[in-house]
Amino acid sequence: MKFKDEEPVKAIYYKKGNPKMTTKHWEKTHRREDWGKMIIDAMKFCLTQKYEQSEAFRQELERSKGKIIVEDQSGFTKKNPDAWGVKLQDDNFVGPNLLGRLLMELRDNGKLDYTLPADAMKFIEYLK
């Protein structure tokens, strides 16, 4: 969803090499201008799809009922966590933990509300 153009989508999905590095290369020049506004809704969409399609995922979330879910990025080399997670600092988790919060909301409500631009799924056409 991060790209509107066919060329970066095909490069990421079909070229040999590291898709993460290929994405970083294309982000500099081709990332959607509205990506920053839609990234959380894109994650909500992806989590919802996984929840609907995977009974094992649903069961694992159910097993966590009453517990706090954290996206622990303590092993990452970056000093601070990104928006999705936390890092352990002096016996405390520090960071936004957005992914953990979304997973808990999905677990507790069985759904996540999101709104995506009309062309958010256009990338799929390039992969057919």
**For 7-43, how does the pLDDT look when each residue is reduced to its tens digit (9 = 90+)?**
999 999 999 899 999 999 999 999 999 999 999 999 9
77 contact partners, CB below 8 Å, separation of at least 6 = none
Q: Which of 1, 105, 13, 2 is nearest to 51 (CA)?
A: 105
pLDDT at 125 over 90: yes
Please give the pLDDT value at position 78.
Answer: 86
Q: What is the pTM of this model?
A: 0.89
For the chain, helix (H) and strand (E) counts, in that order, are 6, 2
d(CA 104, CA 70): 9
Across the range 108-128, mean pLDDT stands at: 96
Query: What is d(CA 110, CA 83) in angstroms, rounded to the nearest whole number?
Result: 23
- Cα separation, 45 vs 51, in Å, equals 10
Summarised one tens digit per residue, pLDDT across range 44-100 is 999 999 999 999 999 999 999 999 999 999 999 988 889 999 999 999 999 999 999
CA distances to 13, 38, 70, 99 from 109, in Å: 33, 21, 18, 15
